[in-house]
């Protein structure tokens, strides 16, 4: 490993099962589903009429009203989450350190809701009704940009856009910036909100979404034989990463250490992974190698686990390829069984929950796994959470375009 040790000192999450990290974690461990009928628009005529929406989030507690109107939903989630993560880390960006504090927030699609709204205004009322804030509202890098504005961070910054791998890519590249000495502190993760008519219609056209409209809470069922697609979700998960030297110098509480990062491309298909799971396995192996971990030393896998036929099958195959006989003993869970698939935010939220697993000694369950797919025959922690001393977690994220990203978190030891 080159450069510095990188540690986690702050966490925050806004999810369909909680408006902060404490509520989200409590409900995740309890196996609470965030799925329900879509409230954002009339779903008449849609094949899917439910999603995992963030509920009753008070953005005014974090963002002035005038600025809320100039931000897409994913950006509001990100700004609030960024402020919460810094508070959790007990860190405020000093002017003297601003150029050493960066922001990388992954996002898959950007401000889809505002894109649809202003397109309708253009067609119905003409070009004069399109807001001058339209473009800066919808572009995917605005989550990172607004966090910078709100916090004063002036170091490395960008948006990673790799579909459902965006969040872990964001964390991985933030980790790399600290390793290489480009920054001392990074605010990183993912944010997304695509529960819109076009978003739901588009994923329905791909046959990617569950259509279990009569039972939304049981619709997201990773690794189950009766899975019929993912459930669209939204939210944000962010971490504060620091060099170990910086964290110690300011007396920070260290929550975990980043062990390693791996990434790959499938070179196969626009939306489907190869059945061999080759690219997934390559990314997992790279992350474990950088972390200096043998497969049998991994305490938990936070799976991508989307509840789609191919993803769950291919991820299971890839885990077997990498872990060998240890694949059958390592506990694996899918947070998406409860929060749905939050797309570009997924890796951020799941990374946050991976660190919480190390901190709390609890592995969340995979709910709705009632009739296991015979081809998905590993230990997915069905139904209920488990108490376990976990010293390392492998967090997986895989996206359209064949993008694969995996990151390892370890219990911190001095």
The sign of the torsion formed by the CA atoms of 343, 345, 351, 354 equals negative
CB 27 within 8 A of CB 38: no
Which residue is associated with the tokens 């628009």?
Answer: 41
Phi and psi torsions of 219, nearest 5°: -80, -40
Q: Which of these, 168, 175, 106, 108, lies nearest to 406 by C-alpha position? A: 168
> Cα 316 to chain center, whole Å?
20
CA gap 260, 276 in Å, rounded? 23
Catalytic residue annotation: 164
Residue 162 carries which DSSP code? B
CA of 208: how far to CAs of 15, 195, 251, 307, 364, in Å? 21, 14, 47, 9, 25
CA gap 373, 396 in Å, rounded? 20
CA gap 126, 145 in Å, rounded? 29
């Amino acid at each position: 490993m080159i450069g510095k040790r990188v540690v986690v000192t702050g966490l925050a999450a806004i999810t369909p099962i909680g408006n902060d990290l404490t509520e989200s974690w409590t409900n995740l461990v309890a196996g609470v589903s965030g799925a329900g009928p879509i409230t954002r628009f009339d779903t008449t005529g849609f094949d899917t009429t439910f999603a995992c929406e963030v509920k009753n989030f008070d953005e005014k507690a974090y963002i002035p009203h005038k600025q809320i109107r100039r931000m897409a939903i994913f950006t509001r989630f990100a700004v609030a989450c960024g402020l919460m993560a810094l508070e959790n880390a007990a860190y405020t960006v000093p002017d003297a350190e601003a150029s050493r504090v960066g922001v990388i927030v992954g996002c898959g699609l950007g401000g889809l809701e505002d894109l649809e709204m202003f397109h309708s205004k253009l067609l119905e009322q003409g070009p004069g009704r399109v807001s001058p804030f339209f473009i800066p509202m919808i572009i995917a890098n605005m989550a990172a940009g607004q966090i910078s504005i709100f916090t004063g961070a002036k170091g490395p910054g960008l948006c990673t856009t790799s579909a459902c791998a965006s969040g872990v890519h964001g964390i991985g590249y933030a980790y790399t910036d600290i390793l290489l000495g480009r920054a001392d502190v990074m605010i990183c993760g993912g944010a997304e909100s695509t529960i819109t008519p076009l978003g739901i219609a588009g994923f329905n056209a791909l046959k990617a979404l569950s259509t279990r409209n009569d039972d939304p809470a049981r619709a997201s069922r990773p690794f189950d034989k009766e899975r019929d697609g993912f459930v669209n979700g939204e939210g944000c998960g962010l971490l504060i990463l620091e060099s170990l030297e910086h964290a110690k110098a300011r007396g920070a509480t260290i929550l975990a250490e980043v062990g390693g990062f791996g990434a790959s491309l499938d070179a196969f298909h626009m939306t489907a992974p190869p059945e061999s799971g080759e690219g997934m396995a390559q990314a997992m192996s790279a992350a474990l190698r950088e972390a200096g971990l043998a497969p049998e030393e991994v305490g938990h896998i936070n799976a991508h686990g989307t509840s789609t036929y191919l993803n769950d099958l291919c991820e299971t195959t890839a885990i077997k390829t990498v872990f060998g006989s240890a694949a059958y003993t390592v506990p694996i869970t899918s947070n998406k069984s409860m929060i749905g698939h939050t797309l570009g935010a997924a890796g951020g939220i799941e990374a946050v929950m991976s660190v919480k697993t190390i901190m709390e000694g609890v592995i969340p369950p995979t709910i709705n796994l009632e009739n296991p797919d015979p081809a998905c025959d590993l230990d997915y922690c069905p139904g209920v959470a488990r108490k376990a001393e976990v010293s390392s977690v492998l967090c997986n994220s895989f996206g359209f375009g064949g993008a694969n990203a995996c990151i390892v978190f370890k219990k911190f030891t001095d």
